């Protein structure tokens, strides 16, 4: 593994690789790496000659300053998890590399994909995501870029950005990685006690229950039932949404929908968790 800490150093490495006609996979992360991130890196390594993984806690995608402050960071531990990997470049940019003039998001038309679910409850979040991903794509110019489906709304937004601005980059979605009990892997899980992680399994249990109710129950009935299932639990529901996978718009019936997905966001012990599963 090679570590680079500046945009210019990364460009020097990538120019040498690309001059030989070799492919580059890109895995952007915010660090606090877990086996879900490593699965993305392995996926990228299978399909490319080289992999760039970035670690950068992007300030513009946090609408809550306290959330940014407490986001887990441990670059030394992250490096240890990656150091045995071959043909991997770890990019550790400074804020000034990504935001040389001012730390501010660009306003990018995301065709309404940013107005629902995460966009509704975290205003400005996807402006920050779209801004930093665009910057990374300009710097790395990868053959393929890899994103986990746990952040499925983000994945759909990045697919749109790539289609409109970076058509030469192939966007690859990777299935949600879970622990043996079914909890979606997340850097934020490190902020939870083992007991809270067990309680958080209620999210995945209800997602699986929802899948079994299609098409017997309507989308609204399923959503309302899940909200009731969380009453009296340790988790506070933020939203339950069943949407068209392509448009991310809420659906009221199963008719004329080719693919649907259910999303849950909830809080436990001050930590916000999200998860989703495909219904069909």
pLDDT at 45: 97
Find the mean pLDDT for residues 38-60.
Answer: 98
Q: Could you tell me the CATH number of the domain that includes residue 8?
A: 3.40.50.620
Find the mean pLDDT for residues 255-277.
Answer: 97
Q: Could you tell me the CATH number of the domain that includes residue 223?
A: 3.30.1300.10
Is the same domain home to 22 and 151?
A: yes
pLDDT at 116: 97
Is the same domain home to 31 and 78?
A: yes
Find the mean pLDDT for residues 123-130.
Answer: 96
pLDDT at 41: 98
Is the same domain home to 51 and 154?
A: yes
* pLDDT tens digits for range 163-206: 999 999 999 999 999 999 999 999 999 999 999 999 999 999 99
Find the mean pLDDT for residues 38-53.
Answer: 98
* pLDDT tens digits for range 199-225: 999 999 999 999 999 999 999 999 999
Q: Are strands 24-29 and 260-268 parallel, antiparallel or unpaired?
A: unpaired
Which residue among 120, 141, 174 closes a domain?
Answer: 174
Determine the structural domain holding residue 262 and report its residue range: 187-274
Is the same domain home to 164 and 203?
A: no
Is the same domain home to 92 and 167?
A: yes
Is it the case that residue 84 has pLDDT exceeding 90?
A: no
Is the same domain home to 122 and 222?
A: no
CB-count exposure of residue 101 (10 Å: 0-12, 13-18, 19+):
exposed
Phi/psi at 101 (5° precision): -105, -55
Is the same domain home to 11 and 130?
A: yes
pLDDT at 122: 95
Phi/psi at 178 (5° precision): -130, 155
> What total of structural domains would you count in the chain?
2
Residue 180 lies in a domain: no
Residue 181 lies in a domain: no
Is the same domain home to 83 and 162?
A: yes
**What is the pLDDT of the chain when averaged over all its residues?**
97
Mark residue 176 as left, alpha or beta (left: phi above 0; alpha: psi -120 to 50; beta: remaining). beta
pLDDT at 141: 97
CB-count exposure of residue 64 (10 Å: 0-12, 13-18, 19+):
exposed
Which residue among 144, 174, 204 closes a domain?
Answer: 174
Is the same domain home to 203 and 161?
A: no
Is the same domain home to 117 and 170?
A: yes
**Active-site positions?**
37
Is the same domain home to 37 and 146?
A: yes
Contacts of 132 (CB under 8 A, 6+ apart): 28, 56, 58, 60, 61, 98
Peptide bond into 215 cis (omega under 30): yes
Is the same domain home to 198 and 85?
A: no
Residue 52 lies in a domain: yes
Q: Which residues pair with 236 in a beta bridge?
A: 267
| DSSP letters spanning 123-169 | TTHHHHHHHHHHHHHHHH--SEEEEEGGGHHHHHHHHHHHHHH-TTS
Which residue among 116, 150, 174 closes a domain?
Answer: 174
Residue 147 lies in a domain: yes
């Amino acid at each position: 593994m090679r570590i680079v800490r500046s945009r210019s150093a990364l460009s020097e490495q990538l120019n040498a690789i690309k001059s030989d006609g070799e492919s580059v996979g890109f895995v952007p992360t915010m660090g606090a790496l877990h086996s879900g991130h490593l699965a993305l890196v392995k996926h990228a390594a299978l399909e490319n000659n080289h992999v760039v993984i970035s670690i950068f806690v992007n300030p513009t995608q946090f609408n809550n300053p306290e959330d940014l402050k407490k986001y887990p960071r441990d670059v030394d531990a992250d490096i240890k998890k990656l150091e045995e990997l071959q043909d991997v470049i770890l990019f550790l940019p400074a804020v000034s590399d990504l935001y040389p003039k001012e730390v501010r998001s660009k306003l990018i038309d995301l065709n309404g994909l940013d107005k629902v679910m995460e966009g509704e409850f975290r205003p400005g979040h996807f402006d920050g995501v779209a801004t930093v991903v665009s910057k990374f794509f300009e710097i790395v110019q990868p053959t393929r870029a890899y994103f986990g489906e746990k952040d499925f709304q983000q994945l759909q937004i990045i697919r749109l950005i790539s289609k409109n601005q970076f058509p030469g980059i192939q966007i690859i979605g990777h299935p949600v990685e879970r622990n043996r009990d079914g909890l979606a892997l997340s850097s934020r899980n490190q902020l939870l006690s083992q007991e809270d992680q067990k309680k958080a399994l209620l999210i995945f249990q209800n997602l699986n229950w929802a899948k079994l109710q299609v098409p017997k129950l309507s989308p609204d009935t399923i959503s309302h039932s899940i909200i009731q299932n969380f009453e009296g639990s340790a988790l506070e529901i933020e939203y339950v949404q069943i949407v068209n996978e392509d448009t991310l718009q809420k659906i009221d019936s199963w008719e004329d929908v080719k693919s649907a997905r259910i999303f849950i966001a909830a809080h436990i012990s001050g930590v916000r968790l999200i998860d989703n599963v495909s219904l069909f």
